[in-house]
Each structure stands twice: as C-alpha cells, then as structure tokens.
Amino acid sequence: MSARHEERRYPKAPLVGVAGIVHRGDRVLLIRRGNPPGKGEWNLPGGLVEVGETLEEALKREVREETGMNVVVGKLVAVGNRIIRDEAGRVQYHYVLLDYLCKVTGGTLVPSSDAADARWVALDEIHEMDLPEPVREILKKAEARIRDDANAMGKKELK
C-alpha cells in the first residue's frame, strides 16, 4: 500500500470523495480498484477531493487519471457514506461520497493510477457483474437518466 493510501487509514475526520457515473450511450464506465479499500472490486471511477479543488474539478481529474477519459460533470445522483471498521471495531476508513452523472467529451480508455482495469459495460449487463451493493444501487438510480440521454442522442443522430 502506498504512503498516500496509508494516510487514509484511521482518519481523524471523514474524507470527501467523488465518483462519476460516466456514460456513453447506454454503457457505463467501470474500473477495477487497484488499492484498498475495495482492491479488486469493480466500481465507479473517482477519488478524493484535494484541498483547493471544487467537486467538479476533482471528479474530472480523478476520471482522467484512472481511465484516460475526459468528462463533463452533470447532475448529482447520490450522496452516501462508506465506513469500514477493523477487527477491533475502530473506523479504518470513512468517506463521504458524492456520485455524479458524467458524459464523455474525449480521451482514450487506458486504466491507470488507482485503476487496475477499466471497461465499458452495457446497462443490461450490469446485473451479471459482481459489484458492491452501493454501486449497484447508484447505477439503478442513474439508469433512467442514462437511458433518456442515450435515446435523445439516438434521435439527434436520426435528424
């Protein structure tokens, strides 16, 4: 575990994180986490907000660092907590997470930084993936908006 990730363990206060529900048509971008917590799990791209960054700036940076994709940040979909305790019951990790819809504006999909892998997944295939339940719930909340956007794009292409 890197020194940067070690600093996140046993925090004195919750850490603020952002995640992107990045979509292109009816496909969403998922990453396989390369570091704890959740190492090896498929998840949404994102990470911590750095001092001096807005939520939007942090999310754009994190998506670009982890996937190589550039995005425009849209509507807030969910706000939640991720609290992980150690065997003794002490808080080992505590994040306040804000999940936003994002649309791709460019880039080339290349996993890097904290992402061990990255891939586009069709909404209809999400149920087949082994995802953490909170991620599944967030995608369910965002699904109608993603499909509406995909349908609107299809109609524009027909004109």
Q: How far apart are CA 46 and CA 17, in angstroms?
A: 7
pLDDT at 3: 61
Record the pTM.
0.89
Chain position carrying tokens 């109608």: 144
pLDDT bin (cut points 50, 70, 90) of residue 159 is very low
Domain that holds residue 32: 3-158
pLDDT at 132: 93
Mean pLDDT within 39-56: 97
pLDDT at 49: 98
Which of 1-5, 35-39, 114-118 is most confident? 114-118
Written as six digits, the tokens of 98 are 């804000």
Q: Of 6-10, 26-30, 102-106, 109-113, where does mean pLDDT reach its minimum?
A: 6-10
Q: How far apart are CA 38 and CA 43, in angstroms?
A: 9
Q: How far apart are CA 40 and CA 49, in angstroms?
A: 22
pLDDT at 154: 59
Mean pLDDT within 63-81: 97
pLDDT at 158: 35
- Judged against a pLDDT cut of 50, whether residue 157 lies above it is answered with no
Alpha-carbon Rg for the chain in angstroms: 16
pLDDT at 153: 62
pLDDT at 94: 97
Domain CATH for 128? 3.90.79.10
pLDDT at 151: 74
- Judged against a pLDDT cut of 70, whether residue 1 lies above it is answered with no
List the Cα angle 29/31/35 in 5-degree steps. 160
**What digits encode the pLDDT tens for the residues 108-138?**
999 987 899 999 999 999 989 999 999 999 9
Structurally, how many domains does the chain consist of? 1
